[in-house]
Structure 1
Amino acid sequence: MQVPEFDITTTINFQTIENLLQVGFTGFIPVADLWENCSVIPKIKGVYMVVRPTKAAPEFLSVGTGGFYKGKDPNVPIEELQVKWVNDTCVIYIGQAGGIRGGKQPMATLQSRLRQYLQFGQGGAVGHQGGCYIWQLKDAANLLFCWKPLPTDDPRAVEKELIETFKTQYGKYPFANRQD
């Protein structure tokens, strides 16, 4: 039996960046820096998180910077964002790149998936609407992206486990992870 490279059964705490470092997440690079150059993101499959490095109360924008993919407005009412907000955590979104869907070979890498996410946040009409709520945060450019490469594990399965673990700890999904 193959031992998974990322054992979610180890205690993961979503409260601080230090907690994420302890379980092997790396990067922690501000969105503004990645908008300039995302070549530091590895070209491998894995899971990633969007982290808000401050504990200050969030300020929401009625119109964020997210792109209109297929003409769909990514913005939601501020009241909806306030309900979705999760206190006492730095993690506001959990995602994956390279998971196998329908038996096909994985296409996305962390770099290609996060590049799409970042382009969406700059108003690009690209297919990355997951996590779109982060682009309605006033401090979106200061958010950090971190990742954990998973050369042999299925990123979709690890992402699902991380989200479920988060939900168990906080009673709801991370702020920008949709439940639909």
Structure 2
Amino acid sequence: MLFTKKSLMQDGFTGFRPLDELDPMRIPQGPGVFAILCPADFDPVFLSKSTAGTFKKKDPSLTREALEAEWIADASVLYIGKASAGSQGNRGLRKQIQEFMDYGRGRPTVVWDARLIWQLRDALDLIVAWKELPASEVNAAEADYHSDFVSSFGRLPFANLVQARPKK
């Protein structure tokens, strides 16, 4: 996979909305995977302090050098995440993406893995896309996308700090 908007669309991703124009009510409620992408000609400018909320009293900010080391200039995909149905069946893409957005607005949450997104000055210009999947396929799909990305770029997307593994 090329990990471009076109290749993601061909693979069933939809949405492709800038974060600052995102209407959560237009995001499906079911489980699936989602990706955060750069718009064309995005120029990363790293903030010295993240806009994200704290998690277990930890500051989500990294040094500029650490952020620059994670950045992949040729990649338009910055993050690939999942949204499971949850133990009560009441989670899914809408809730997970809403929590991701809330985290960027400084609210504490458990979306720690994606925290590097919120240290980009123009984070709200980034684009979110999603793909609904049956709950039984979400973990394997996320792991496959991570593995394919690593095969293409030699490492995980910018804001993915942990590689997903398929759960047995």
**Which whole-Å CA distance do the structure 2 matches of 1:152 and 1:76 have between them?**
33
RMSD: 1.7
Matched ranges for 1:1-180 at <5 A: 12-14=1-3, 16-34=4-22, 37-98=23-84, 107-151=90-134, 153-179=136-162
SS of the residue corresponding to residue 174 of structure 1 reads coil
The structure with the greater share of residues assigned to helix is: 2
Once the two structures are TM-superposed, the CA of residue 20 in structure 1 deviates from its matched residue by 1.3
Once the two structures are TM-superposed, the CA of residue 57 in structure 1 deviates from its matched residue by 3.4
- Between 1:42-51 and 1:64-73, the stretch displaced more is 64-73
Q: Output the TM-score relative to the length of structure 2.
A: 0.90
Structure 2 residue runs of 5 or longer lacking an equivalent are 164-168
**Which whole-Å CA distance do the structure 1 matches of 2:50 and 2:106 have between them?**
9
**Which whole-Å CA distance do the structure 1 matches of 2:10 and 2:106 have between them?**
34
Q: Output the TM-score relative to the length of structure 1.
A: 0.84
**Which whole-Å CA distance do the structure 2 matches of 1:123 and 1:19 have between them?**
32
**Which whole-Å CA distance do the structure 2 matches of 1:57 and 1:142 have between them?**
11
Once the two structures are TM-superposed, the CA of residue 108 in structure 1 deviates from its matched residue by 2.3
Contact 1:99 1:154 in 2 (8 A): no
1:25-53 per-residue CA deviation (whole Å, 9 max, x = no partner) reads 1001111122xx31111000000000111
Query: Percent identical across equivalent pairs?
Result: 36
Q: Radius of gyration: which is bigger?
A: 1
